[in-house]
Structure 1
């Protein structure tokens, strides 16, 4: 109903699948898709720290936990001024995830809002709303009907071996697009179908995870880099029968958010493969501890 109201033509099928000849098959193809710098925009950097324009227009502002999650009640994203959008960017930077219920936002407006915050990711493999590349569709019923896998079973991603850890759940903690040259600044989800029970997604604070560490351990990690891998596997041109290969990128293990100036721990069990400069044994020991900091401290979530 939301799509039809917005004038999206779904008569030819929904969602729209990227043309087969545009979907990367080989790892070098996928690596090259965004192997260049794009303009970085940080809207929250110069926003009002008190967020008066945003908060005064809301009926209620609810912090859901100490470290992560805020709900804004009584505001439509489609009505936000640029000043309110900038303050929202700062709020997201501080609170990690922000929720707006009962939104009338169309897919076109969602895409426009995304472009305000920067370059919008157009996923080379994911289906999207017809005519609107950049509005990826996550739809398990669709994937199931087309015989596609619904989880990470049988994939070895980063430091997580699914053969040893077949369950999903906390084993699939991740950060979007960390394998890219410039990882995602935001992920904007609009839920069209919500179950009465279940279907929950959890978030965790990288700031809180970093603050859990001792000062000496922080000093050890600061300046270290890690290798991050893609969720999807691709073929190696030189060894097409050698199994799937992941895109790999190197990024700082500890990063500083440009809007808040706060340091955060940038690791996740699914896509962080190894720490640069350490032996495999050393890297695995440290990474598994850091993964546990995220996953086993409920006050971060």
Structure 2
């Protein structure tokens, strides 16, 4: 019979005949000073459960929308998952949603002319030639299924679609997310109280909880995404690329908007692919890459070896199920390496591909979040598969910015060698480079 030795330290029982990973898990979950909700920045202290202090910080327009939508703010806001449900080890995080979920893209069989959607709108405005469309005069809560399907196809074609002056409850936003796919429920990130899957986008709150976001460092992620990935979403990124079935349609609704600043920029993966030469496209087609999670965890077999991230392998060039167009699927923060080439070659190729997405202004759209009616909010719905995006923190928190986000997970990524690029399909010219 083995001898059990118990050591008392900081009111924690350490039992030496337990496996080391179990001891570490007990330590982390029981010790209030150890932060497991934001492992990217040790200074951020977000408490588990609904936060009563956070409720006091809510902008008035956000409070009214949440209360009108039936959210019980007396319990606190936002709500962080219980510590017992937040994964400690990378294998636990990898196991979340590690199974096939049926998915049919709502845009795949929609009317290509979008008569139900466009016919009901007062105006349809393209922000740029390639990216971004604004629909005027429709309420997202009132769309029919046919209009929702046509909207999905429009998003798949135009990357991101905007709706100003929306009276949209958090529950209605979540319901629309369920219509478009399997809603992602994040094991760590704060969500609307009582509505898992309705993520809170609120830099002001995270700054109050210790995030050192300022004028000097707000764009650091665009130079060093490893150290500064979590700095307020200012770095170019694509959401949830590490998932078995990564993000499809994502819907961000802002109910508190700065008068000046706080814009968001999107870049097109279709156009990024078409920026490449034919020979380079041939090289990339069929290649696969390793994609990682934004959050870090511990390795159960090497818990003292530093943070580990969830990794999954997906095609570097994907085919969209609704449009049938090829697109470049990379982003600086979470595409780790290309399979089948040397690490040096992988870094050189990826850094060029990141630059193609980030530095070509003609494949991007910048949106100013404004309303024309007091008390209303603004929505952006984009396709994470075919885009990267980033926030612009130029208002520096001088006026509040608060919103809620719902992400619908899509298909298992695939590449169809018979698919064509956007410009090929539309008959647009492509440069033929000399040998």
Quickly name the TM-score band, shorter chain normalised.
Answer: over 0.9
**Counterpart in the other structure of 2:427:** none
Structure having the larger proportion of residues in strand: 2
Shift in Å, 1:235: 1.0
Asked if the contact 1:160–1:171 (Cα under 8 Å) also holds between the matched residues in 2, the reply is no
Distance change >3 Å, CA 252–CA 245, structure 1 → 2? same
Shift in Å, 1:281: 0.8
Distance change >3 Å, CA 170–CA 3, structure 1 → 2? closer
- The alignment status of 1:14 with 2:69, answered yes or no, reads no
Query: Please, which moves more after superposition, 194-203 or 140-149?
Result: 140-149
Distance change >3 Å, CA 21–CA 168, structure 1 → 2? closer
- The alignment status of 1:133 with 2:188, answered yes or no, reads no
**Counterpart in the other structure of 2:331:** 268
- The alignment status of 1:111 with 2:174, answered yes or no, reads yes
- The alignment status of 1:189 with 2:255, answered yes or no, reads no
**Counterpart in the other structure of 2:289:** 226
Cα distance in structure 1, aligned partners of 2:304 and 2:323? 46
Distance change >3 Å, CA 179–CA 166, structure 1 → 2? closer
Cα distance in structure 2, aligned partners of 1:171 and 1:273? 19
Distance change >3 Å, CA 101–CA 175, structure 1 → 2? same
Give the 3-state SS of the residue equivalent to 2:249 in structure 1.
coil
**Counterpart in the other structure of 1:33:** 96
- The alignment status of 1:95 with 2:158, answered yes or no, reads yes
Asked if the contact 2:226–2:333 (Cα under 8 Å) also holds between the matched residues in 1, the reply is no
- The alignment status of 1:77 with 2:140, answered yes or no, reads yes
Deviation sequence 1:88-110 (CA, Å, 0-9, x none): 00000000110001111101111
Deviation sequence 1:35-66 (CA, Å, 0-9, x none): 11111120000101010100011111000011
Give the 3-state SS of the residue equivalent to 1:137 in structure 2.
strand
- The alignment status of 1:123 with 2:123, answered yes or no, reads no
Asked if the contact 1:63–1:69 (Cα under 8 Å) also holds between the matched residues in 2, the reply is yes
Cα distance in structure 2, aligned partners of 1:84 and 1:92? 12
Distance change >3 Å, CA 225–CA 149, structure 1 → 2? farther
Which of 352, 357, 371 is equivalent to 1:289? 352
Give the 3-state SS of the residue equivalent to 2:254 in structure 1.
coil
For structure 2, the residue ranges without an aligned partner over 5 or more in a row are 1-63, 365-435
Deviation sequence 1:107-149 (CA, Å, 0-9, x none): 1111111111111000110111111111011111211222246
Which of 334, 340, 343 is equivalent to 1:280? 343
Distance change >3 Å, CA 294–CA 29, structure 1 → 2? same
Distance change >3 Å, CA 209–CA 169, structure 1 → 2? farther
For structure 1, the residue ranges without an aligned partner over 5 or more in a row are none
**Counterpart in the other structure of 1:214:** 277
Deviation sequence 1:130-189 (CA, Å, 0-9, x none): 1111101111121122224659x8xx99x95556x8997997211110001000111110
Shift in Å, 1:241: 2.1
Cα distance in structure 2, aligned partners of 1:35 and 1:160? 29
Asked if the contact 2:292–2:310 (Cα under 8 Å) also holds between the matched residues in 1, the reply is yes
**Counterpart in the other structure of 1:144:** 207
Distance change >3 Å, CA 160–CA 148, structure 1 → 2? closer
**TM-score normalized by structure 1?**
0.93
CA RMSD, aligned part only? 2.3
- The alignment status of 1:58 with 2:121, answered yes or no, reads yes
**TM-score normalized by structure 2?**
0.65
Asked if the contact 1:179–1:230 (Cα under 8 Å) also holds between the matched residues in 2, the reply is yes
Which of 18, 23, 37 is equivalent to 2:86? 23
Query: Please, which moves more after superposition, 50-59 or 137-146?
Result: 137-146
Shift in Å, 1:25: 1.3
Cα distance in structure 1, aligned partners of 2:349 and 2:118? 41
Cα distance in structure 1, aligned partners of 2:229 and 2:148? 41
